[in-house]
Structure 1
Amino acid sequence: MAALGRFIHLENRETIESLRNSELIGTCLNCGRDFPLSRAILFDGLGKFPDEAKAIRQQLLNELKEQAEELTKRKLSVEGAEQKAIYVSIGKIVEKIVPAYRDFNFPLSDCRPLFEPIDMVVFKGASNHAVDYITFLEIKTGKAQLSKREKSIKEAVEKREVSYKEV
């Protein structure tokens, strides 16, 4: 006799009938709960699979399918988050070294790195002691987009909502 959840496979119809009429208790291998064997779906495995057992089997298969789909979604989500973290890390490295690139169109001596909340402020002419233009510079790699904070800074600058104060 082998038990699997609420299903018990026996090879003898008489034994099955006596178990149905008994007061014996079984233990579910999945959840560990006890149950009366008289409430179990008992069959010998040689005959027709009981309709009630078919329904429970189908329900379990559907649940497994849903769980597999959920795991696939979680895996894709984790992989996407991991990839994004890699891109963000690469971006943070690039923004620190980009002023050293030959095609960087600002004199390094005019650049002041902030890194947060924007990458850099360029004071055009600072190296000649005569600043005539200030650029707020955000460096992005790939298809990266401005964060909400970066967008708000851009909008404030574009609306000329900037000032200079001495304290």
Structure 2
Amino acid sequence: MPLWVFYHPPNTFTDPATKKALAKVLTDGYASVGLPRSYVVVLFQPIEPDSYYIGGVARPSPDVPANKPGPDSTRPFIRIKIEHFARPDPSEKSKKRFLRWADATLKPFIADQGYDWEYSVEEADRSQWKINGIVPPLEGTQAEKEWAKTNMITPFEPEKGGLLGKL
């Protein structure tokens, strides 16, 4: 499961259509490499400026001498946490390709809006992942293809998910 959490000031991502468009482009990206769309979770978590500090300075906050040295404190700061469970990136080349895709995907929603931003990607242990109490099928299996086709999480026979003898 790709999980994307956007921690952002309340004055950003205020338009539901913008959030929906960002969630769609992220979901489309993962679906284009065969992941079931239902794996992709995108959360928008507004954080009040008095609870959002970057370098000891609330963001956003007035650009005053007390907030220097440092970047323009009036600019909103977006922190993004990305977790990958379904498929680890197998190589440095693949990881770099993902980072380029993430940068290009996020640019119109964040950089082009004049926000400062940061993200990190964590690859979680697939063996510690379940959806609706079900261990997800392995990559490329009949069960995963069915999940991708129907966009639904449904029980399957272990052999159809590449899990025979692994549960």
Q: Provide TM-score, normalisation by structure 1.
A: 0.24
Q: TM-score, normalised by structure 2?
A: 0.24
Which structure is larger by alpha-carbon Rg, 1 or 2?
1
**Per residue, is there more helix in 1 or in 2?**
1
